[in-house]
């Protein structure tokens, strides 16, 4: 859930987000070497579904590597109705993003946060 993005710099060089779980990234390759729990495998399957839906959006750039943050901000587009309610262009993508965010929060609270406090990385 980092805020790293792929982008084109002012010198026209493309910088890719290697810290996401898109295909052929450093993070995804490292992840493939780990023995994942069933919960982690389920999260990864959900991520793969989201990525496949993101690739079908109008703004998708095949030259980029996408993470949740960039998909949410650049590909999960919406319009506002007369009451300022968001009407998403890709309801299925938006729904799965919300499910993933909830499941990641639960995973973090169950598996990670107590270790951060234990080793005083958070106080």
Summarised one tens digit per residue, pLDDT across range 11-31 is 999 999 999 999 999 999 999
The model's pTM is: 0.90
**pLDDT reported for residue 117:** 87
CA distance 65 to 75: 13
**pLDDT reported for residue 122:** 73
Radius of gyration of the chain (CA): 16
Average pLDDT, stretch 28-36? 96
45-60 pLDDT, tens digit each? 999 999 999 999 999 9
């Amino acid at each position: 859930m980092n805020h790293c993005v792929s982008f084109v710099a002012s010198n026209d060089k493309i910088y890719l987000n290697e810290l996401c779980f898109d295909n052929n990234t450093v993070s995804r390759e490292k992840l493939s070497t780990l023995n994942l729990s069933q919960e982690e495998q389920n999260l990864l399957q959900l991520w793969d579904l989201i990525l496949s839906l993101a690739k079908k959006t109008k703004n998708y750039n095949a030259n980029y590597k996408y993470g949740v943050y960039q998909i949410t901000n650049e590909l999960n587009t919406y319009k506002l109705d007369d009451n300022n309610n968001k009407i998403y262009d890709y309801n299925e993508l938006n729904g799965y993003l919300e499910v993933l965010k909830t499941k990641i929060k639960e995973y973090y609270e169950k598996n990670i946060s107590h270790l951060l406090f234990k080793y005083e990385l958070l106080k």
